[in-house]
Amino acid sequence: MEEQLKIDFEKNLKDFSYSDQEKKFKETNFKEFLKQGFPNRKLENWKFSDLNQIIQSNIGELTFYNDYKKENQIDKIELISELEHNKIIIVDGKIEKIDFKFEDQDKIEVLVEQGEENIRENINSLINLNNAFSNKFCKIIIKKNYSLKKPLVIYHSTNKNTQFKNTNLRIDFKLNENACLRLIDIFKDNSEKNFLNIYYNFEIDKSSILKNYKIDKSINNNVKYSYNNVKQQVNSISETFILSSGSKFFKNEINCDLLGQHSSAFVNGIFDLDDENHHEIKSNINHLVENTKSYQLVKSVLEKKSKAVYQGKIFVSSEAQKTDGYQLSNAILLSENSEFNAKPELEIYADDVKCSHGSSSGSLDENSIFYLMSRGLNYKEAKKLLINGFLLDVIEKITDEEIKNLIKNLLGVKE
């Protein structure tokens, strides 16, 4: 792999006229990745999902070079018809189209940024990989007091010829004071056996609201990793919802720093897994000042040989008095070969806090099934009804009605 990496990295550097600073940034990150490689189970964070091994067994040897000059076809990409939206279309980690047609153009700024070294980059080797190989990245700034009229949908797709490839994407978002952004990520791939690596940075200023809905529903054989790095100021809110379902492997990692008082973070998720899919959500909610709040709810429905992992961590620093932190995960194992792993973690250094977590996993309640069947439903209907009820709890946490309905339709959940 090392040879391939070196060749592809050189090729990538040659393609573009990077400034010295950019070059240095890329080289530093590249070296760090070479040193560490893909994360494996020896790292605490990757204990339940050995990415190195997952890539080995699902993809094999990867290539890392991407031709960012090539124009990709985007007219065949299936768009959401249920709701009007702004869009960004991404193919193989390259931004092909940015369209904010519903918005006041002077309220949104799109910059093509260089790699900044001052951002905390030593998160894990995948961020290094991303910084080394991603294209010049895009920064989207929402100006003060502006709420986007329509949601922004980012379509993530791959070219149908792309295979055995690692693609990288980085986008930074800045929500200035009192701004609001609804962001939907939709994953729809046209090819298989690739490793998609996505890195988002969010700066959420005073009184701003970010809602990020990640929808991985279409079935594919790709391996994906997504990292959201969220920094929140006074009175801000972040809401993250993850529907984790279609990919072969998907790990969603959310790091959220609550830096301003009265800021709050919500992380909700559904694992709806089948076949041999293996998905993970890892959250780090860092309560760093007084009076902050976090709430996390993750539900799993696991079929066949699927495996879901939820590692949710609440960290409370000694300054963060009056923290309210809550976390719950429930899993239903529908097959004798499915597996649920959880590591709900609390690390607390302040005494005046209210923190709790709960986790449960087990089979579908046979008594409830029996009850429903005695009322005339067949086994399949009864099961579907119970699972819908089980998942509805999380879906109801979605604060945006339009998007809530979209997701209900996607899951076939009715009230």
Name the residues that contact other proteins, by CB under 8 A: 44, 47, 318, 321, 331, 333-363
| 384 vs 378: CA distance, rounded Å | 10
Secondary structure (DSSP) of 157-187 = E--TT--SBEEEEEEEEEE-TT-EEEEEEEE
Q: Which amino acid, one-letter code, is at 378?
A: N
Of 98 and 288, nearer to other proteins (C-beta) is: 288
| 303 vs 339: CA distance, rounded Å | 9
Give min distance, CB of 125 to other proteins, in A.
Answer: 19
Of 192 and 303, nearer to other proteins (C-beta) is: 303
Side-chain-side CA neighbours of 216 within 13 Å: the count stands at 31
Measured at the CA of 220, the angle between CA 337 and CA 188, to 5 degrees, comes to 140
Of 260 and 325, nearer to other proteins (C-beta) is: 325
Of 166 and 311, nearer to other proteins (C-beta) is: 311
Three-class SS of residue 109?
Answer: strand
Of 42 and 76, nearer to other proteins (C-beta) is: 42
389 sits in which H/E element: helix 379-395
Give min distance, CB of 348 to other proteins, in A.
Answer: 5
Give min distance, CB of 190 to other proteins, in A.
Answer: 34
Of 20 and 44, nearer to other proteins (C-beta) is: 44
> Are the CB atoms for 125 and 38 separated by under 8 Å?
yes
Give min distance, CB of 338 to other proteins, in A.
Answer: 6
Give min distance, CB of 120 to other proteins, in A.
Answer: 23
C-alpha distances out from residue 35 to 2, 49, 346, Å: 10, 20, 31
90 sits in which H/E element: strand 86-91
| 339 vs 365: CA distance, rounded Å | 17
Give min distance, CB of 54 to other proteins, in A.
Answer: 18
Of 337 and 378, nearer to other proteins (C-beta) is: 337
Give min distance, CB of 321 to other proteins, in A.
Answer: 7
| 258 vs 366: CA distance, rounded Å | 42
